[in-house]
Structure 1
């Protein structure tokens, strides 16, 4: 099967930008072009071609960042140059200059056979969308193939290559895929529109709320994240640093728990929203965190080490019953993980938010730690883990009985 490529036009300058490319405008922690490229990658594109008049310095820098993120990226300075880089049978996701389409819209058009066009109704206020006929405008995204690009390259001359591609696709009776509009929120946004990017930034922030499935991620962390996210993505902070910071905080917590249990618990607690911030920031940027899985594993291991340190402190003087209680926490969580895997095979993929998780256990222990009742905190964590496992077992029996 021929892999999907993406072709993104990069011609226009930003209004009043003194030669600054519209697609290089800062947006949600990166440039508009980087968001376009990363959304194309999530839609299945395995390589990227940037179609530009010249290799602008901003364009070269963005291409370098995309390559560093693992997306093969070339710059073509003409439609002929772009066509030469494509196989005739290769499907090509074509994205108009500065156009930011929703991920669901990209997924819909990639699933269609080429040629296909994403469309919007022709109503007042949509002048940025190119008109196809009296009732429909192009939404800025198309699925074509390498052969159509080659044919177009032979006839473009001095014409706008994207407009010619659009007309050729229309002449071939391209499938029209209307945008599933939810008011104006479902429409693509163009970087050339001076106020459009601010609105979509707000939607991106609100749309990533509550990524986790447990109650701390749904109820507690948003209170911290909503204040920190906007300044973080405006400063173009790489979410990798936050993910690494979450593992580091957990490591500090593991070390501190032996001598200062409350300080260790606070460090572990802070590692939770830090990891959640990293995930939300990566999703806003439509990117991925390098080594995310390893940071997650490290955080879990440090939490276990902190539990061991706490148990050692409680068991001083030969009170070995604390070891049994301490072992019940990881045992209960391991059993719960196995039960969740069985539930997923039975068709139930999400557990209730109140079900035990690493962050949930830490927050349950906090009130006991504040008053110094660490034994009670350990017992509460064990009861929470085992109670969640008991619920999962009952749910498995209920589903299996059906």
Structure 2
């Protein structure tokens, strides 16, 4: 992958503008990895702290990183049998669309000339403008050795790829209109793309699961600034809440214990929402295995909160209702239709009901009622699922 680091009118390299809390160049590294690149080469005037951060990101992915200052050093890094991916400075492109266009082979992404030039892309012939990505044979780069050292390496590589007969891959101008394909020239357009990307990435949860729904909306309101460390901070607060809940329950303070669990469960749900939003936004998985682990952690903490204080003489009595309730909640979540699944997994909502019960001193009675309700729901859907046609 190659990316020039040109300066915007404000004096800052476009590659180091931020989108979703990350440098644009970080998003381009993801694009290059999607296209099978094992080595990342950046064309830049000088080393910088930002490039050091990119270097760490690249090496963490198990790829090689190189920074070169012109076309001649680039020649020495490439061999004729390699594939070369070139990405224009400031290009922001939807990863799925890139994979669809270039996942099957080499080519020069091309836009209709008027729309492409208006969007800031370079004209390549009478009817096309360059779309900002090239995939071609690296042997074309050998001709850069004959060019002046201050030449525009990216523009030269584009011309050389076209002269070598690299096919044009048409890109519909609708991608420009939707923001899925953007050459950053001003901050306003980048901010609009950021909002669109966040809106698409946020997980939609129905208000049938109020705690989860609220945590997802909170995550969206904290993004993008809260994506990097927000999940870790929220997880720390959630852990403190659960520890406080168990400690309070150990001293037989039912209401403070359930209140602390409520706060902790919502903090953990918010941490999960922030983590999933970041993962979905960056196309790095959905975090379902982590969600299952956190669900088990919450259930163990809730069991402790509802069963404590327990002694050797009353342990079974103290454990029966909480264990029955949590077991039925987990069972009904597997039997319920998809639209109700989150409602039964939402421990914040359960904690809110239990908090009200603790305030009125009727915790055991409400737990028993919840057991009956969940058991009825399980039986209803089990009976329905066994209906067969004669």
TM-score normalised to structure 2 length: 0.77
Distance 1:356 1:127 in 2: 43
Alignment of structure 1 residues 286-305 onto 2, 5 Å: 296=291, 299-305=294-300
Bigger radius of gyration:
2
Q: Do the aligned partners of 1:329 and 1:382 also contact (CA within 8 Å) in 2?
A: yes
Report which of the two has the higher share of helix.
Answer: 2
Distance 1:396 1:81 in 2: 67
Alignment of structure 1 residues 204-215 onto 2, 5 Å: 204-210=197-203, 215=209
Query: Deviations 1:204-260 (Å, cap 9, x if unpaired)?
Result: 221222266884587323432333224425xxx335624743662564365356242
Q: Who is 1:169 aligned against? A: 161
CA 1:329–1:97 in structure 2 vs 1: closer, same or farther (change >3 Å)? same
Do residues 191 (structure 1) and 188 (structure 2) align?
Answer: no
CA 1:128–1:249 in structure 2 vs 1: closer, same or farther (change >3 Å)? farther
Distance 2:173 2:212 in 1: 28
Instruction: Kindly report the root-mean-square deviation, in angstroms, between the aligned alpha carbons of the 2 structures.
Output: 3.9
Query: Deviations 1:265-322 (Å, cap 9, x if unpaired)?
Result: 2211221022202322344466689xx7886465334312223223424988859566
Match of 1:12 among 6, 10, 13: 6
Q: Give, in angstroms, the shift of residue 262 of structure 1.
A: 2.1
Do residues 201 (structure 1) and 198 (structure 2) align?
Answer: no
Q: Give, in angstroms, the shift of residue 165 of structure 1.
A: 1.9
Match of 2:274 among 273, 277, 300: 277
Match of 1:352 among 338, 343, 363: 338
CA 1:185–1:307 in structure 2 vs 1: closer, same or farther (change >3 Å)? same
Q: Give, in angstroms, the shift of residue 195 of structure 1.
A: 2.4
Q: Do the aligned partners of 2:5 and 2:89 also contact (CA within 8 Å) in 1?
A: yes
Distance 2:79 2:205 in 1: 41
Alignment of structure 1 residues 91-170 onto 2, 5 Å: 91-114=83-106, 116-123=107-114, 126-148=118-140, 150-157=141-148, 158-170=150-162
Q: Who is 1:308 aligned against? A: 303
Distance 2:308 2:48 in 1: 62
Q: Give, in angstroms, the shift of residue 352 of structure 1.
A: 1.6
Distance 2:386 2:79 in 1: 53
Q: Give, in angstroms, the shift of residue 95 of structure 1.
A: 0.9
CA 1:220–1:169 in structure 2 vs 1: closer, same or farther (change >3 Å)? same
Distance 2:81 2:375 in 1: 56
Which runs of 5 or more residues in structure 1 are unaligned? 1-6, 341-350
Q: Do the aligned partners of 1:92 and 1:143 also contact (CA within 8 Å) in 2?
A: yes
Query: Deviations 1:150-172 (Å, cap 9, x if unpaired)?
Result: 34434444532222222233331
Q: Who is 2:214 aligned against? A: 220
Query: Deviations 1:315-338 (Å, cap 9, x if unpaired)?
Result: 888595664443344544665687
TM-score normalised to structure 1 length: 0.75
Distance 2:275 2:104 in 1: 33
Q: Give, in angstroms, the shift of residue 9 of structure 1.
A: 1.1
Do residues 232 (structure 1) and 218 (structure 2) align?
Answer: no
Do residues 241 (structure 1) and 232 (structure 2) align?
Answer: yes
Q: Do the aligned partners of 1:339 and 1:392 also contact (CA within 8 Å) in 2?
A: yes
